[in-house]
Amino acid sequence: MTDALVVGAGCSGLAAALSLRRAGVRVRVLEARDRVGGRVLTRWLADGTQLDLGAQWIGPTQHLVNALVDRYGLATFPSAAYGASVVVWEGARRRTEPPGAARVLDLLDTYAARLDPAAPWTAPEAARWDRTTLGDWLAATAPDPVTARYLGRLLAGGLLAVSPDQVSLLALASYLASGGGTSSLLPTTGGAQQDRIVGGPAALAEAMAAALGPEVVRWGAPVVAIEHDEAGVVAHTDVGRFEAAAVVVAVPPALAGRIRYAPALPALRDGLTQRMPMGSAWKTHAVYPEPFWRADGLSGVASCAEGPVTETVDSGTPTSSRGVLTAFSYGAQANALRRMSGPARRDALLDALATVVGPAARQPDEVIEYDWSADPWTRGCFCGVLTPGSLSEYGPYLRAPVGRIHWAGTETATRWAGYLDGAVQAGERAAAELLAGL
């Protein structure tokens, strides 16, 4: 009998397994796929150019993930930042944000500072802020509609991959609190998009799995049911049943809700999983012979208040001469792209890139997409987002263990939730909880 099980070999599950192993617990990680990493995935072009199809960056205050990068001797490199960033609003490419944006971001940071990211529902304003969508709040607070639309896309989209009307002010402010505020979350240099890992975050996941050893991760083993009682747990998978004293479930809440539990989970825990859909992002890598925008003094970084693409970045690497421009679309825009034919989507995306870096964007060598919403073992990205009104009501059930079942996954982190760092924190916290209960 294994002492503990972990469901899901993403970075959160692997972090949990490593913590458990370090404490002397025998552990088995049950993974649906034939790879580790969950929402991280590296694609290598024929010439060796690295594309990060899922999670891409680590930031300077993400201490847990940086410590793992050091421990496993992985190399990092700074995100490309060679020229000027642009902002697209009211039909034109500009060098500055809409003028009222900074003040609204400051106000949001003061809201975030009033929240405990481990229990945002305890704030006096919680119920009121949870009833208000970010979109409504911005419409009432921003000095003009352009600023409201720009910030709605930047924040709801760029941080959570949803439309501004699909997240409450409370959930957004709580996310800001978890990541150290807008000055920590939004920038490239000095912020959450500062650095990248050679080999991508997938290299970190692989190093974590290698540290666990060859017998620990069981492949092709989606957990379809968990029986649990005071004596232990039994997980049922496609490749048999696994018994243990306890389990860490390290998949997103929406997917955790699809596992069949016996006895059934309490109403409010189940209700949480019904109300935390995955974000909806569409991430496109357009690959060019060279990063032609740099010669024009452009960084390739853009934020767009209109059009199908909300953000672009230069995803080039120091070891490749090719130019990689990455476009992010969110919420309704991502779904609109999803509904298009491949050629129509390609045209729409390349048109948007041309607005940012000029017409040469229309001639890529390759366009690489990966739809995490179509992947049955992830079903959306970046992460699960509680619907308006749900964080204040169901938030307390996000982390609370149910008997011998503990919950990990970046959604359950209290610091850097939604990021690799949060995945690690959540895994280590769930492991500590499990150990305390053994």
Distances (CA, A) of 386 to 60, 170, 411: 27, 10, 10
Q: Evaluate whether 132 touches 169 at the Cβ level (below 8 Å).
A: yes
The number of residues that bind a copy of itself (CB under 8 A) is 45
Is the peptide bond prior to 388 cis by the omega test (within 30 degrees of 0)? Answer: no
Does the annotation list 97 as a binding residue?
no
Record the tokens describing residue 99, joined without a space: 């003028």
Determine the interface stretch with a copy of itself among 62-70, 132-140, 347-355, 362-370 (rule: CB under 8 A): 132-140
* Residue in 134, 95, 50, 93 with CA at minimum distance from that of residue 309: 93
Determine the interface stretch with a copy of itself among 66-74, 93-101, 182-190, 369-377 (rule: CB under 8 A): 369-377
Beta pairing class for 195-197 and 240-244: unpaired
Beta pairing class for 84-89 and 92-94: antiparallel
CA distance linking residue 195 with residue 201, whole number of Å: 11
User: Using alpha carbons only, what angle is made at residue 181 by residues 176 and 185, rounded to the nearest 5 degrees?
Assistant: 85
355 binds a copy of itself per the rule CB under 8 A: no
State which residue, 86 or 255, has the beta carbon closest to a copy of itself. Answer: 255
CB of 130 to a copy of itself, least distance (A): 8
The answer for 4, left when phi > 0, alpha when psi is -120 to 50, beta otherwise, is beta
Does the annotation list 32 as a binding residue?
yes
CB of 159 to a copy of itself, least distance (A): 17
Pick from 13, 157, 388, 401: which binds a copy of itself (CB under 8 A)?
388
Q: Evaluate whether 326 touches 43 at the Cβ level (below 8 Å).
A: no
Letters for 219-238 (x = contact with a copy of itself by CB under 8 A, - = none) are ---x-xx-------------
DSSP 398: T
59 binds a copy of itself per the rule CB under 8 A: no
403 binds a copy of itself per the rule CB under 8 A: no
Pick from 373, 410, 414, 425: which binds a copy of itself (CB under 8 A)?
373
Pick from 221, 254, 398, 408: which binds a copy of itself (CB under 8 A)?
254
Residues found in the chain: 438
Question: In terms of C-beta density within 10 A (0-12 exposed, 13-18 middle, 19 or more buried), how is residue 340 classed?
Answer: middle
State which residue, 211 or 336, has the beta carbon closest to a copy of itself. Answer: 336
379 binds a copy of itself per the rule CB under 8 A: yes
Q: Evaluate whether 14 touches 204 at the Cβ level (below 8 Å).
A: no
Element (H, E) at 152: helix 145-152
DSSP 287: E
CB of 390 to a copy of itself, least distance (A): 8
Letters for 327-346 (x = contact with a copy of itself by CB under 8 A, - = none) are ----xx--x--xx-------
- What residues pair up with 249 in beta bridges, in sequence order? 7, 407
131 binds a copy of itself per the rule CB under 8 A: yes
Does the annotation list 79 as a binding residue?
no
Count the Cβ atoms, other than its own, within 10 Å of residue 377: 16
* Rg of the chain (C-alpha set): 21
Beta pairing class for 260-262 and 246-249: unpaired
Letters for 261-300 (x = contact with a copy of itself by CB under 8 A, - = none) are x--x-xxx-xx--xx-xx-x--------------------
Does the annotation list 17 as a binding residue?
no
CB of 80 to a copy of itself, least distance (A): 30
258 binds a copy of itself per the rule CB under 8 A: yes
DSSP 125: T
CB of 156 to a copy of itself, least distance (A): 10
Pick from 165, 227, 306, 351: which binds a copy of itself (CB under 8 A)?
165
Does the annotation list 77 as a binding residue?
no
Determine the interface stretch with a copy of itself among 106-114, 173-181, 217-225, 343-351 (rule: CB under 8 A): 217-225
The amino acid at 398: L
CB of 168 to a copy of itself, least distance (A): 9
Residues 138/143/144/147 CA torsion (nearest 10 deg): -60
400 binds a copy of itself per the rule CB under 8 A: no
CA distance linking residue 325 with residue 299, whole number of Å: 10
Does the annotation list 31 as a binding residue?
yes
Q: Which residues contribute to the annotated binding site for substrate?
A: 328
Q: In the complex, which residues of this chain contact a copy of itself (CB under 8 A)?
A: 130-131, 133, 135-136, 163, 165-166, 222, 224-225, 254, 257-258, 260-261, 264, 266-268, 270-271, 274-275, 277-278, 280, 331-332, 335, 338-339, 371, 373-376, 379-380, 387-390, 393-394
Q: Which residues contribute to the annotated binding site for FAD?
A: 12, 31-32, 223, 411
